[in-house]
Amino acid sequence: MSGNNLITKKFNTKKSIRNATSKLKEGKNWSLKADGNLYVWNTKIERLKIVRNGIPYDALETISKRLNRPMKVVLSIVGIPQTTYNNKKGKHSLLDSRDSELVIMITELMDYGMEVFNNEEEKFQRWLKKPNISLGNNSPESLLDTITGINEVRFALNRIEFGNLA
């Protein structure tokens, strides 16, 4: 024997299913209004269905308002040229699954951030724009272009919420 003491665990199907269908945050219904429609989810599977179906380009305006940033900045975050946005929005097209997921995750992040900052929007907005040591001296806002970045910002908010700033 080579001294390799790796312990493998048997895959727990029930736990996996429970995690996939678990509520994203107990008692919380997430929602996003776009193009006159209200998209509501409170489990990961419900979120997945919305992501796969796509959400309207109009949702980017909602994100622009929530971030308190010009549309040009939001388009840069999502990686969509202004002309494409104008064209697709005019045709009431839907975002692809990647962009839909980014928009939905940013929506959840904004709700969570407001909760952590006790609904003090001005303080939360300042925090989003300020370089943060725990995020490699990047501003939280600058990390919203990827799912990994959004998760890192969520972890930073989690540390604030529970007083673990290290």
pTM: 0.81
- Give the chain's domain count: 1
Range 100-128 average pLDDT? 95
The predicted structure's pLDDT at residue 113:
96
140 lies in some domain: yes
Whole-angstrom distance, CA of residue 32 vs CA of residue 48? 14
76 lies in some domain: yes
48 lies in some domain: yes
1 lies in some domain: no
Q: Is the pLDDT of residue 16 over 70?
A: no
12 lies in some domain: no
72 lies in some domain: yes
131 lies in some domain: yes
Range 3-8 average pLDDT? 58
Residue pLDDT, tens place only, 126-149 = 999 999 999 999 999 999 999 999
Strands (E), 22-81: 30-34, 37-41
Residue 76: half-sphere exposure toward Cβ, Cα within 13 Å: 8
Q: Which domain holds residue 147?
A: 28-161
Helix residue spans in the chain (DSSP H): 13-21, 44-53, 59-67, 71-78, 82-90, 97-116, 121-129, 147-161
18 lies in some domain: no
Whole-angstrom distance, CA of residue 22 vs CA of residue 20? 6
